[in-house]
Amino acid sequence: MEYLVTREEIEKVAKLMRIELDDHTVHIDRVQKMIDYFDILDKAGIESTEFDVHEKSINELREDKHIPYDDVLVKKLKNFKGNYIRAPKMV
Amino acid sequence: MTKIGLEIHCQLTNLNSKLFCSCKADYRGFEPNTNICPICIGLPGSLPRLNKKALEKATLIAMALNCNTPEKLAFFRKNYFYPDLPKNFQITQLNVYGEYSIGHNGKVLVDDKEIRIRRIQLEEDPGRLIYEGTSEKTQITLVDYNRAGTPLVEIVTEPDFENERQVRLFLNILSDLLENLDVSNPSLEGAMRADGNISIKGGNKVEIKNVNSFHDLEKALRFEITRQESLVSRNIPIEQETRHWDDRRKITVSARSKEGEEDYRYFLEGDIPWILIDSQTLAKLKNDVPESISSKKERYISKYNIPEQVAEVLSSDKFYSDMFEQAHDESNAKDVANLITTDLMGLVDTKEKRDKSKLTPKHLVELVYAIESNKITRTSAKNALIEIIKTGKPLSEIITKLDLGHLSNESELAKIIEEIISQEKKAVEEAKINPQAVNYLVGKVMQKTKGKADPSLTLNIIKKKLSS
Amino acid sequence: MNLGISALKYVEEIKNGSFTVEEFISNTIEQIKKHDGKLHAYLSIIEKTIEQAKNLDRKIRNKEKIGTCYGMPVSIKDNICVKGAKTTCASKMLENFVAPYDATVVSKLKSEDAILLGKVNLDEFAMGMTTEFSAFGPTRNPWNVDYVPGGSSGGSAVSVRAYECIASLGSDTGGSVRNPASFCSVVGFKPTYGLISRYGLISYANSIEQIGPITRTVEDAAFLLNIISGIDPNDDTTIDNKNEDYLLNIDAGVEGKKIGIIKEMVSQGTDKAVVSATNDSVKKFENLGATIEEISLDMVDYSVASYYTITSTEAGSNLARYDNLRYGFDFPLEGYEFNSYISKARKNFGPEVTRRLIVGGFVPSAGYAGKYFLKALKVKKKLTDEINEAFKKVDFLIAPTVPILPFKIGEKIDDPVALFLIDFNTVTANLTGKPAISVPFAISNNLPIGIQLIADSMQDKSLLQAGYALQQTVKLPEVPI
């Protein structure tokens, strides 16, 4: 077990991912199990530094045209006041 | 030793569409949330579609700033939560994996100082937040996504600026470049945002954020330098921090530290493939890089023998240099340049005046020719210009309408001069004694002929008459 | 009426006038009413399908031009957008989300006059291999309703197997089309990455997932592939397949082809019955004129770790948009500030999704990125290199789709690593972008076993030919419903 997952870290990550957790201990345990499993990657013997890439030429990209969207999208979303989307107050 | 670095965001408002979708790039004037589509709203299942022209224009900017442009470009995700960010991540080119953005390691010469450009990248603008009520009592936040997805070019410099003047000159070069490339209108509100960082005398670096125009940036920098110098003089150490520019109070204020450092978890944007810009396309783009101000200036001086001061004015303003480029030829270049930088300048020195002006390069050509061929005196040129700007009518009409012709018929002129001499007996006597006083008589003749009289011919005739 | 016919047979019968579209659709809807209460494949039924059927029948009578699907009933996994229909991803987070646009694959099916019957169940946000993680209850295996149907496209596989539709579109990120196909004894096809547009597929791990057809025969998969594949301007990751006809010459056979058994995928941990079935399938291929050899891809042993590292990272980002501000479910904003509101709203994710999001926040974060995420990317690259090397020696790779037999609902739900390993044989094709197919091959103790074939990139056509050849060597029992 190379790396020990702490409650503090779970709290930090939950905050980072904006998920309120009821029970941190459940996650400490599970994340620890998964991280331990991921440690197997250390044995993989990978030297190369390149990643796989999908490539496309600049000439195949979208032309710069203004095409208005043909639907009144905002009416299909929620929380709208007038035409605005509502968000909670910012601190 | 003052060190200033800049981080500038320019909206590519002159593009037709946003960076990743076909909504309009310039969102100004739309009702809230009417310039949106599934992509820029980040609806589930939507995918970004990269705008070819945005990439081309950004590459041109990078080239114009002498950057290295990589063979392969990539986009990355910067993950954080904010209501103006529909996907709760921003597609950008900043990353921790390598140099894959549109330009790196460039440089610009500003007043003999080399300013290094660290990085140029493309990214998308978030939407806009509006708060109901004052900030303190805000209960709700309103979000308008019209701006979400607008293409931004971010330019980051090394902290090579030594003073605000260099910053101002750099921003001028940048504005000019963006206008020349037809990507952006720097005068649009919010089209340019700049953050700066300053350290003085080798002290801690302070970041200044929330500056919404180039104009404000200078003010903010000036304020911050003064603030820091004042602290130093009282032996108070300068904290390394982020400060916000408060535009209302015209000061920088310490930004409340955000809850912990945000971890952006940068990784490759899997919905956008790596983009290859082949050498052919790059060469074609290189051709489109507009001439820099300094290069124009040099060319005006060396090719047309235009005096340095005149060349300086002509080259540093796109309006004038465009006018010049279209109006001049080998023979009249110097005169056209002269006309633009003397008589014309005061008449079209603001955007409003330029927008209203009906002057065309053809008018300038006609005017210079008319002066050359004695159809109109140099002094009348200004009046002619005023009328041209107002009405756009051809020069011949205007000369007739305002009676601006050139009176160079000797006998006609002699008659008028006789009249003046007989009227101004006292001045004539003075002139006989004091040669300088002749100018008064010349002036009277000009008055009488509404400026049409050929000045040198008038002077000669008067002198002759006086001596006879 | 025999609802168990293939898509091709259906089209033939409609053309012959053996029955009308309306008759077939009505009967299918009856079948759903009869069995889906127990099986729970469907999450929502699309309205007015009988009207659509009547309309198509009228066109057929008037000899008007009609699309190649002739009104065949198709189900759509509920993470694929159908305009005007609820698209929930089997999650409470999207309980009320009605898609305002059609996915490209949906537009294509509609323009060929397929009739979309409804949206089918999945593991929440496609994260899972058993469909037990749906927020709206599990789907059950029609071979034995106490058993899992596989996942995450469990609803797709079950709706096809139980004759509740002729074909389905699922999505495959780590085996999610092939795995349930194997567990339910239907065909599941995952194309080369980029062959089918993902526009309208709600992203989980966008760098490796693909939509794939689930059908009762290999020819049907080819038929659907003809309709839904191809370069799409709405998806910059799609590639040009030059309008390849996947159905043409599907019976070309495998004479002279070389097939490699992936050693690491038939190792310890593989069920005896599955090993036996795999050996049988290999023999069948030999009888058809193919030659077999053993291939070792040693990166396979690290593929699951690499897969979960990469997908949890991408999921963490792809699911960030679900903050309930623009769409989602009912939860008033009053009294909350931004961060506390969205954190509370996001409690609505189910436990498996939450677990993966936590891992997905952990793994790429600043301190650990080098340790896990980058290593995972390197394994992905090395695995791709290894499989490319293998395809220089062989035409296809073969392995069991799932190392184990279907198991009881609830049996493995608490052991995350055991669950991971169900994907052991399937994630390789996703990580490397290669096309793969699961062909139903055997039934053991009334539980299905599928055999997986993998081909090189853009070899989807020859892969379908190999799958067809294998399919023709077996006659499997009917599903007991």
Q: pLDDT for A22-67, tens place per residue?
A: 888 888 888 888 888 888 887 777 766 566 678 999 999 999 999 9
- pLDDT tens digits, one per residue of C321-334: 999 999 999 999 88
| Cα distance between residue C125 and residue C115, in whole Å | 24
Q: Do A19 and C343 touch (CB under 8 A)?
A: yes
Question: Which of C326, C342, C365 to mutate against chain A (most A CBs within 10 Å)?
Answer: C326
Q: What angle do CA C101, C106, C109 make, to 5 degrees?
A: 145
pLDDT at A78 exceeding the cut of 90: no
Closest CA to C363 of C417, C316, C323, C433: C316
Q: Do B79 and C333 touch (CB under 8 A)?
A: no
Pairing of strands B3-11, B251-254: unpaired
- Check whether residue B276 and residue B297 sit in a common domain: no
Confidence tier at C272 by pLDDT (50, 70, 90):
very high
- pLDDT tens digits, one per residue of C73-91: 999 999 999 999 999 999 9
The domain spanning residue B439 has which CATH number? 1.10.10.410
Q: Do B52 and A87 touch (CB under 8 A)?
A: no
Q: Do A30 and C344 touch (CB under 8 A)?
A: no
- Check whether residue B106 and residue B231 sit in a common domain: yes
Please indicate if any CB of chain A lies within 8 Å of the CB of B255: no
The CATH fold of domain C1-481 = Amidase signature (AS) enzymes (3.90.1300)
Q: Per DSSP, which regions of C179-273 are E strands?
A: 187-190, 210-215, 258-262
Contacts of B83 in chain A (CB under 8 A): 85, 87, 90
| Cα distance between residue B334 and residue B339, in whole Å | 9
pLDDT at C169 exceeding the cut of 90: yes
Q: Catalytic: which of C91, C134, C176, C197?
A: C176
- 3-class state of residue B256 by DSSP: coil
- Check whether residue B323 and residue B391 sit in a common domain: yes
- Check whether residue B151 and residue B226 sit in a common domain: yes
Domains recognised in chain A with CATH numbers: 1-44 (1.10.20)
- Check whether residue B397 and residue B421 sit in a common domain: no
pLDDT, average across residues C283-301: 96
Task: Give residues with Cβ within 8 angstroms of B36, minimum separation 6.
Answer: A69, A73, A74, B23, B145, B146, B148
- Check whether residue B106 and residue B255 sit in a common domain: yes
| Cα distance between residue B314 and residue C354, in whole Å | 63
ipTM of the complex: 0.94
Please indicate if any CB of chain B lies within 8 Å of the CB of A76: no
C176 is catalytic: yes
| Cα distance between residue B455 and residue B443, in whole Å | 9
pLDDT, average across residues B398-406: 77
Q: Which of B251, B284, B317 is the last residue of a domain?
A: B284
- Check whether residue B382 and residue B420 sit in a common domain: no
pLDDT for the residue numbered B179: 82
Q: Comparing B36 with B178, which gets the higher pLDDT?
A: B36
Q: Catalytic: which of C75, C107, C152, C185?
A: C152
Answer whether B9's CB lies under 8 Å from B154's CB: yes
pLDDT for the residue numbered A1: 45
pLDDT for the residue numbered A79: 63
pLDDT at C416 exceeding the cut of 60: yes
What tokens does C455 get? 């081909």
pLDDT at B137 exceeding the cut of 60: no
Task: Give residues with Cβ within 8 angstroms of C460, minimum separation 6.
Answer: C191, C192, C195, C225, C229, C241, C244, C246, C435
pLDDT for the residue numbered C184: 98
| Overall number of domains in chain B | 3
pLDDT for the residue numbered C77: 98
pLDDT for the residue numbered C369: 58
From the list B16, B22, B32, the residue facing A84 with the nearest CB is: B32
Q: Comparing C27 with A6, which gets the higher pLDDT?
A: C27
Residue C332 burial class via C-beta count within 10 angstroms: exposed 0-12, middle 13-18, buried 19 and up? exposed
What tokens does C475 get? 């006659």
pLDDT, average across residues C227-242: 96
Q: What angle do CA C326, C328, C330 make, to 5 degrees?
A: 105
pLDDT at B38 exceeding the cut of 70: yes
C residues 41-100 near B, CB within 8 Å?
Answer: 80-81, 87, 89, 94, 97, 99-100
Confidence tier at B62 by pLDDT (50, 70, 90):
very high
Pairing of strands B206-211, B241-246: parallel
pLDDT at B461 exceeding the cut of 50: yes
pLDDT, average across residues B109-115: 88
Q: Comparing C126 with B421, which gets the higher pLDDT?
A: C126
- pLDDT tens digits, one per residue of B241-283: 889 888 888 888 888 665 456 789 888 999 999 999 998 998 8
Q: Which of B259, B284, B309 is the last residue of a domain?
A: B284
What tokens does B325 get? 């480029």
Q: Do A33 and C376 touch (CB under 8 A)?
A: no
- Check whether residue B213 and residue B240 sit in a common domain: yes
pLDDT at B121 exceeding the cut of 50: yes
Q: Comparing B408 with C468, which gets the higher pLDDT?
A: C468
- B66 phi-psi bin (left φ>0, alpha ψ -120 to 50, beta other): left
pLDDT for the residue numbered B77: 94
- Check whether residue B396 and residue B423 sit in a common domain: no
Q: Which of B402, B423, B441 is the last residue of a domain?
A: B402
Domain that residue B434 falls in = 410-467
Confidence tier at B341 by pLDDT (50, 70, 90):
confident
What tokens does B207 get? 């970041």
pLDDT at C7 exceeding the cut of 70: yes
Chain position carrying tokens 């005739």: B461
**Percent of all residues in chain B with a pLDDT value above 70, rounded to a whole number:** 97
List chain C domain ranges.
1-481
What tokens does B19 get? 């960076």
